[in-house]
Structure formats: C-alpha cells, structure tokens
Amino acid sequence: MGKEKVNPSDYTIANVKYDTVIKKPGEIAGQQFIVENCEFANIGLFDYINTITIDDCNNCSIFVGPTIGSVVLRNCISCRLMCCSQQFRSRDCKNIEIFLYCATQPAIESCYDLTFGCFSANYKGLEEHFKKANLCVLNNNWTNIYDFTLNDEEQHWTLFSNSVKADDYFSGITCDDELELSFNWMTSVVPKTLGSMPTANGVNGELCLIMVIAGDETHKTALNLIKEMQNETELVLMKTKEFHSVTTESQLMFGVEANQMIIALLYKGRDCVKKSQNIGKGFS
C-alpha cells in the first residue's frame, strides 16, 4: 500500500486579507508549509512542521509551531512573527517584530528595522510538538543574530527591552479555549532568557552559574528550578544550555557517567548566589 498523496493546498495559506486562519494540532503533522501574499491577516499554526516559507506578507501576525528545519521569511513588511525552529532565515524584510526560539544562529540578509525577542508561548500539546521537531526548549540561541549585510553605518536589527510582553503583539490570534493558548512568559514552554541582550548590562548584581545533574530527572528538575526562580523578581535568567558529558574531561569535572545529561543555567541579579543556593536546597 503506497503513501497517501499529499495535497499542497492543505499546507498553504495564500492571499488571505483581513481574516484569521488557524491550523490546529494534527492538521500539519510534520509537513512542509507555505504562507504567501497575505495582508492584515492573523495566522496561527499550532502544530509541528517540517519547514516553512513565509513570503510577501504585509501587516500580518503569524505564529509558527515547532519546525524541524528552517523558518524562512522573505519580502515581508510590518509583520509580527513568533516561531520556533532549528534554523531561522530572513531576507529582504522591513519592520518585523520577531519573538524567536532558534536552536542555531539566526541569520538575516538585506533586512531593516527588525526587532527580536524571546519566544514566549504555550498551548496544549506544544511541549510534545517540540519533542517531535527534535528541539530542546533549553537550547535557545535567539539573541545571537548573524547579519550577512552588516554595515557599520546602519543598524539592521535590535532587541526588545526586557519589559516587552508578547501578549501585546498577538492578541489577534485566537482559537478554541480547549487549546489553552497563552503568550505569557511565565507559562511559556521556552524559558524567557536575556541572552546577549545589551540591556542585560543594566541588571544590577552578580552572576551565578547553576549546574543541574539529576540523572533521568535532570530536564524536569531544571524546568522546576526555573519556575521556582521566577519568584525572585530581582533575578534574571541570562542563558540556558542542555548538553551531554561526551568527553573524559567533562565526566571527571562533573563526576558523571558518559553521555549524562547536564543543564547549565546562568542567572544575574542582586545576591544572586545566596538566593540561588537557598532555592537550590529544595532540589538537593
């Protein structure tokens, strides 16, 4: 029995104007997707995707679920985009506000007035979609932008301030209550980080690196610790990284077996070390 033939129109959103289009979990299921020639549209793709291209869109709000390969944005103007993917590429775009998860280094080319923020969303099934897309929520490289057309006389991109809320940019994307969609960073599947954000230099206090090693419970423990640390309003999460002990040196340094999961959390803030130690006691 052969494979069921794919109808490209089921995985294309084109020429939508002043309307809302939603794809629910299970309606994309890892297929390639196309969004093109849309204006003043709200588009929500709440499923995992193979790759996606977004072309020639104007004044749209677009949410893209976990993407196995690349999110490619081309020839778009004055749009708001939230997406999570292995790779992110943008070319010939202007005035775009992007809330991003990217496992590798995001790249832009011939773009102007791009503003980046950290991916901030949750819906029923999103965590499972991250797993199907082979993406780790703790390995977000969103601030490390590479500009192929870097020019000392022009600033092609910047970062949102830490106070910006994604809720304010995607209120037009609505769906059934059963999906439990939220753009609140406190409940986001991807932890909010500042990364290499320049405004992070304005955060007073010291740095504290926390290493989480808890066997099969490492990932779960790290996420629970992050949630607990959110109660400390003076502490900010700078970076997170999940990796495995693949070298003899790392195994000796951390006293773990080969291929053991290790998660690093970098915090900054007033009395950061003391506060981290106090919270960490509850996880030891």
Query: Which residues contribute to the annotated binding site?
Result: 69-70, 86-89
Residue the block writes with tokens 């709200």? 42
**Distance between CA 42 and CA 44 in Å, rounded?**
7
H helix or E strand, kind and range, residue 236: strand 235-244
3-class secondary-structure state, position 14: strand
Structure tokens at 212: 């989480």
Cα–Cα dist 109/73, whole Å? 10
What does the alpha-carbon distance between residue 93 and residue 17 come to, in Å, rounded to a whole number?
A: 19
Q: Which residues are annotated as a binding site for GTP?
A: 69-70, 86-89
215 φψ region: left (φ > 0), alpha (ψ -120 to 50), beta (else): left
Residues 6+ apart with CB under 8 A from 32: 11, 49, 50, 51, 52
